[in-house]
Amino acid sequence: MVGRLSEAWRHRFGWYPGDWVWPVLLGLVVAVVGGTVAVVVTDSRGSNNTLVATHPGTPRQPVTPPETATVALPTVPSGTPTTIGPPETPTTPPPATRPPPAAGALTAWPANQNGYTVVLESIPSNAGRSLAVARARAASRAGLPQVGVLDSSLYSSLHPGYWVVFSGIYASSGQADAAAQAAAGKGFAAAYSRQITR
């Protein structure tokens, strides 16, 4: 067999490299065929993972009503006030509210924008911003919208010297009042609406 192949090689090309060329060519053919088979098998397995939508069926009401989440909040140092004061009269409303961030994420109050919000808590500056941030993250995880921290010294409508934990950016006092009631229903009993102006 090898003798016939070598004669055919010499007849075709006019020279012959030696009998070693046949095992090398056979190995090359086996490698190409094996690679092709592997690619085909891999593609066929990937195409078999077809997603099948389940029948939607009739929506069911929950058997038991959802419970209100209980949130463990960091404590404020004793003997420190936790309120800023009564709400003031409204001024310029802000543009439309923004979508809420992910749970636990904080929202920054828009620069140069006036509006209304829900004050969840006012923490004295000497207690540290980290405490206010921890309270804000807990409120965000509890499901309150657009939770963040304000430095009250930067806003003329707030008493200076506090880190203010807020929820929501609203165009009217009525929206903020409704949001304050919703916050109270989620365990933030001291929440109240407040105007924020530069």
Q: Distance between CA 97 and CA 100 in Å, rounded?
A: 9
pTM metric for this prediction: 0.48
Average pLDDT over residues 90-103: 55
Query: Which pLDDT value is given to residue 93?
Result: 54
| pLDDT, position 174 | 93
- Would you mind telling me the total number of residues written for the chain in this entry? 198
pLDDT at 54: 46
Give the mean model confidence (pLDDT) for residues 124-133. Answer: 90
Residue 60 has pLDDT above 60, yes or no: no
Q: How far apart are CA 109 and CA 169, in angstroms?
A: 8
% of the chain residues with pLDDT over 70: 63
What is the three-class DSSP state of 89? coil
Answer for the pair 141, 88: CB distance below 8 angstroms, yes or no: no
The answer for residues whose C-beta is within 8 angstroms of residue 153's C-beta and 6 or more apart is 125, 160, 161
What is the pLDDT at residue 83? 53
- Report residue 62 as tokens: 């929950």
Specify whether the CB–CB gap between 130 and 171 falls below 8 A.
no
Gap between the Cα atoms of 160 and 139, Å rounded: 23
C-alpha dihedral, 82 to 169 to 74 to 123, nearest 10°:
-30
Angle at 157 between CA 100 and CA 168, to 5 degrees: 10
Q: Would you place residue 177 in the very low, low, confident or very high pLDDT band (cuts 50, 70, 90)?
A: very high
DSSP 143: T
Which string of b and e fits 65-92 if b means at least 16 CB within 10 Å?
eeeeeeeebeebeeeeeeebeebeebee
Q: Could you tell me the pLDDT band of residue 166, with boundaries at 50, 70 and 90?
A: very high
Q: Is the dihedral of CA 90, 95, 101, 107 positive or negative?
A: negative
Q: Is 140 within 8 Å of 186 (Cβ atoms)?
A: no
